[in-house]
Amino acid sequence: MNPRPQPLGRAGAKAACTIACGPIILVCVLGFLFGGCGVGTSDRGPIRFWNGFTGPDGRTMLRLVKRFNCSNTGPRVLMQRMDWGTYYNKLMVAGIGGRAPDVFVVHVDVLQRFMRTSFVRPMDDLFTKANGLDPADFDPNVRRAVTRHGRPYGVPLDVHILGMYYNVRLFRDAGIVDAAGRPRPPTNREEFLAAARRLTRDTDGDGRIDQWGFVFTWFRTNVYAVMAQFGGKFFSADGRRCLIAGPQNVAALQFCADLIHKYRVAPSPQNFDSWIGFRQGRVGMAFEGVYMLGSLEKQTDLDYAGAPLPVLGGEPASWAGSHVLCLRADLRGERLKTAWRLVRFLSDNSLDWAAGGQIPVRRSLRNTARFRSMRVQAQFARQLPNIRYGPAVPFIFEFYSEFDTAVDKALRGTASPAQALREAAERIDRIIEREQALAEQAPAGRSQ
């Protein structure tokens, strides 16, 4: 420093120092106040319950957790939620960082991926009748989906099935009604096509169609369900070959593309966002998950109803997903007990959960008058014996990425269904090879 600074300079320097240090000190102090927790999660503190329930679902779940906390004597449960899309990324990053939550929700088709990490707890010792949850009360196809090497890795909370929503007023206007004048949702391909044709109209006479019989909303679930109805398979029994380009799948995808380009009863596809068309009352039929009920609740001017998907292929089938409750692997003692109590509580009260747009996975709960009075849920639940989950492969997101692209191309007409699916199958086969090579490097006992 200059040996003889001006008084003013020195004062300024001091001020600068203070200004420079002030926020840093403040930040540190506040850090202590706000934070104070060390690396990883402690054995104290609340039970951390993470899920991807945003929107009304999140608020319903929050109320359930609140009720649990009122009756619970152990550690408090603290629920954190974020949108599914980012939830999985975050869950995985937290998992590697040793900060996995104590209880967390995972979709059944993603569970295959998470079962292979070290932070999901197998539940064969907990998930028993003696511990308050009778596995026999759960549908076997659902139970199978959460099992790996004979051990369940989670408790399914619900099953959200794809079903058909239809606009009651449009059906009446188009005369698609039974003898009593009640709208008659189609149950097979001929009825479906006939209904879709009658519902597709130019209402204001400007030469442009502004009311559609059908709309593809989420391509993935819509086409997946139709493929399942056509009897399509996705992987060979040993999991080493992708069969997505099989003739049934090609035929199913062709039928879907035909709805847009040949029969002209569906508008150009735009994925999720087309749902808004159904809410606007400009679409007669749409295949969507039971979870979409939440978005219709506020659509006070829409008269809608639910029905099982019509059988467009050879056999009844529908896409479904389930939210699965999982536990962190290293839970012990009182915390494990509380976490399990929470899992049981949520399962026992899954009718409250279902009210917002879900179907309880437990038979005993579905056989109640209360569930039967949930009109859309009860209709969609009729499809339960024929549901198809997403394929149980560990590279599920990469599979969906290829599947979605192939469907996208075929529905837009930029590639023929056969070509689009063949390209996807080739890419998926390469992913399988890569995974296989990795599995062979894996230490014994944890191989796939």
Partner 1 sequence: MGESTHFHRRASGYLFLLPYVVLFVLFLALPLAYGLGLSLFRWELVSPAPARFIGAGNYREALGDPYFWKALWATFRFVLLQVPITIVFALFTAVALDAVSARRQAFYRAACFLPGMISISVAGIVWRWFFNNEFGLFNAWLGAVGVKVPWISDPRLAMKSLAMMTLWWSFGGPTVIFLAGLKEIPRQLHDAAAIDGAGPVQRFRYITLPLLRPVFLFVVVMSTIGGFQMFGQAFMITRGGPEFSTRVLVQYIYETAFTHYRMGYGAAMSWMLFVVIAVFSLVQFRLIRERRRHEI
Partner 2 sequence: MKSDPDRIPGGRAAAERTADTCALPGSRGRRIAAEAFLLFATLLALFPVVLIFLEAFKPDAEIVHFRGILPHRWTLENFLEVLGSPEEVPILRWFANSVFISSMVTLLVLVVDSLAAFALARLNLPGRRWMFAAIVATMMVPGQVLLVPVYLILNRLGWIDTPLALIVPAGAGAFGVFLLHQFFQSIPRELEDAAAIDGCSTLGIYWHVVLPLARPALATLGVFTFIGSWNAFLGPLVFMDSVDKYTLPVGVALFQTSYYAEYGYTLAASVICTLPVLVVFVLFSRQIIRGISLTGLKG
CA distance 20 to 278: 57
Selection from partner 1, partner 2, none that 213 binds (CB < 5 to 8 A by kind) is: none
Residue 272 in contact with partner 2, rule: CB under 8 A: yes
Q: Token pair 């010792």 is at which residue?
A: 125
Q: Select from 401, 416, 419, 422 the one that contacts partner 1 (CB under 8 A).
A: 401
Q: Which is nearer to partner 2, 75 or 122 (CB)?
A: 75
First to last CA, the chain: 67
Selection from partner 1, partner 2, none that 367 binds (CB < 5 to 8 A by kind) is: none
In the window 282-321, what residues touch partner 1 (CB under 8 A)?
Answer: 282
Q: Which is nearer to partner 2, 26 or 442 (CB)?
A: 26
Beta bridge partners of 47: 77
Specify the length of the chain in residues: 448
Residues 6 or more apart whose Cβ sits within 8 Å of residue 401: none
Phi, psi angle pair for 413, to nearest 5°: 85, 15
Q: Tokens for 271?
A: 């994925």
Q: Which is nearer to partner 1, 279 or 344 (CB)?
A: 279
Over the window 207 to 246, marking each residue x when it contacts partner 1 by CB under 8 A and - when it does not, the resulting string is -x---x--x-------------------------------
Adjacency order of strands within the sheet including 47-51: 77-81, 47-51, 103-107, 323-327, 155-156
Residue 398 in contact with partner 1, rule: CB under 8 A: yes
Residues 6 or more apart whose Cβ sits within 8 Å of residue 365: 350, 351, 354, 371
By the 8 A CB rule, do 182 and 302 touch?
no
Q: CB of residue 23 vs partner 1: minimum separation in angstroms?
A: 10
Residue 136 in contact with partner 2, rule: CB under 8 A: no
Selection from partner 1, partner 2, none that 270 binds (CB < 5 to 8 A by kind) is: partner 1
Q: CB of residue 274 vs partner 2: minimum separation in angstroms?
A: 11
By the 8 A CB rule, do 292 and 165 touch?
yes
Residue 390 in contact with partner 1, rule: CB under 8 A: no
Other CB atoms within a 10 A radius of the CB of residue 317 amount to 25
Q: CB of residue 24 vs partner 2: minimum separation in angstroms?
A: 7
In the window 11-50, what residues touch partner 2 (CB under 8 A)?
Answer: 12-13, 15-17, 19-20, 23-24, 26-27, 30-31, 34-40, 48, 50
Helix locations, 132-204, DSSP H: 140-145, 168-173, 189-199
CA quadruple 170, 175, 179, 182: dihedral, nearest 10: 0
In the window 365-424, what residues touch partner 2 (CB under 8 A)?
Answer: none
Over the window 47 to 76, marking each residue x when it contacts partner 1 by CB under 8 A and - when it does not, the resulting string is ------------------------------
Q: Which stretch binds partner 2 (CB under 8 A): 58-66, 114-122, 330-338, 424-432?
A: 58-66
Other CB atoms within a 10 A radius of the CB of residue 82 amount to 17
Q: Select from 11, 25, 29, 93 the one that contacts partner 1 (CB under 8 A).
A: 93
Up-side HSE of residue 403: CA atoms within 13 Å toward CB?
23
Q: CB of residue 368 vs partner 1: minimum separation in angstroms?
A: 38
Q: Tokens for 437?
A: 């090579």
CA distance 216 to 224: 12
Q: CB of residue 21 vs partner 2: minimum separation in angstroms?
A: 9
Residue 18 in contact with partner 1, rule: CB under 8 A: no
CA distance 370 to 425: 45
Q: Select from 49, 114, 165, 275 the one that contacts partner 2 (CB under 8 A).
A: 275
Q: CB of residue 192 vs partner 2: minimum separation in angstroms?
A: 23
Residues 6 or more apart whose Cβ sits within 8 Å of residue 398: 428, 431
CA distance 169 to 180: 15
Phi, psi angle pair for 132, to nearest 5°: 100, -5
Q: Which is nearer to partner 2, 56 or 135 (CB)?
A: 56
Residue 55 in contact with partner 2, rule: CB under 8 A: yes
In the window 190-209, what residues touch partner 1 (CB under 8 A)?
Answer: 206, 208
CA distance 401 to 395: 10
In the window 203-232, what residues touch partner 2 (CB under 8 A)?
Answer: 218
Q: Which residues of the chain form contacts with partner 1 (CB under 8 A)?
A: 1-3, 20, 24, 88-89, 92-93, 96, 113-114, 116-117, 206, 208, 212, 215, 267-271, 273-274, 276-277, 280, 282, 394-395, 397-398, 401, 404-405, 408-409, 412, 414, 435, 438-439, 441-443, 446-448
